[in-house]
Structure 1
Amino acid sequence: MHAGPVIAVSDLDRAREFYEGGLGLAGEPTPGGWLLHADDGTVIYLLAGFSDAGTASWPVASFRVVDVRATVRELRSRGIAFLGPAELPFELDDDGVSADTAGVQVAWLRDPDGSVLTVFSRTAG
């Protein structure tokens, strides 16, 4: 069984710029929107034309990476902004990575519609 999140977007071109140009995912047209390819055969579906896109207050997609700090730094160099301590109920270190989540290091960001996304790495223990 194959699974992938469906993320509602209000403006497909703007979303593609963020997900492809900012996050570095590759995509292609799919009925009703855009299909993005991530590592290990995982995908994200962008569903276009929703005026209430971005209204979820929880992460709609999470990206597991080998090194969350290196990923955060790379994405910031591409202009991606991450959420800060005023926006989250977690302690963050100087990189904006969770400092109080056992077993995982997480950083939070928003897409152009405001949908919450995370990048994370598992840690020992």
Structure 2
Amino acid sequence: MLKNSELIAVLPAKDLGRAREYYRDKLGLEVAEETPGGLVYRMASGAAFLLYETSNAGTARNTQMCWTTADIEAEMAELRGRGVVFEEYDLPGLKTENGVATMDGERGSWFIDSEGNTLCLTQQT
């Protein structure tokens, strides 16, 4: 039954007002719905995510959400123009150049939102 259900990602925020401003000003996203549980954002693809307030925000060190794009450089340029800073990594199996890592079959870039969540862009190659 789950395969027929709507899926929504959930991200923590220490300060929901600050998060709303970041997602609007830096990522160009508007809140689609305000619920008692938080702020819902809906993508044109039908995907959605919820930002909810909790003191646990920013504690995860893993990628929490990723957008797939056809042109990672264009997306990064637009986001950089809005003030988003992309992470640079030099780890075993993961090295970025100008914010982009090339992996088997895909390219990826990561940034940290105002709440400490690690978000990414990915492009299939």
Counterpart of 2:100 in structure 1 is 97
4+ long deviations beyond 2 Å = none
Counterpart of 1:32 in structure 2 is 37
Counterpart of 2:75 in structure 1 is 71
Point out the structure with the larger strand share: 2
SS for the counterpart of 1:39 is: coil
* 1:83 partner amino acid: E
User: Paired residue for 2:115, among 113, 116, 120?
Assistant: 113
**TM-score of the aligned structures, taking structure 2 as reference length:** 0.88
Structure 2 alignment gaps of length 5 or more? none
- Root-mean-square deviation over aligned CA pairs: 1.4
Assess if the C-alpha contact under 8 Å between 1:36 and 1:45 holds in 2. yes
Distance 2:44 2:71 in 1: 14
Aligned-pair distance for 1:85? 2.5
User: Paired residue for 2:11, among 7, 10, 20?
Assistant: 7
Counterpart of 1:82 in structure 2 is 86
Assess if the C-alpha contact under 8 Å between 2:88 and 2:95 holds in 1. no
Assess if the C-alpha contact under 8 Å between 1:26 and 1:38 holds in 2. no
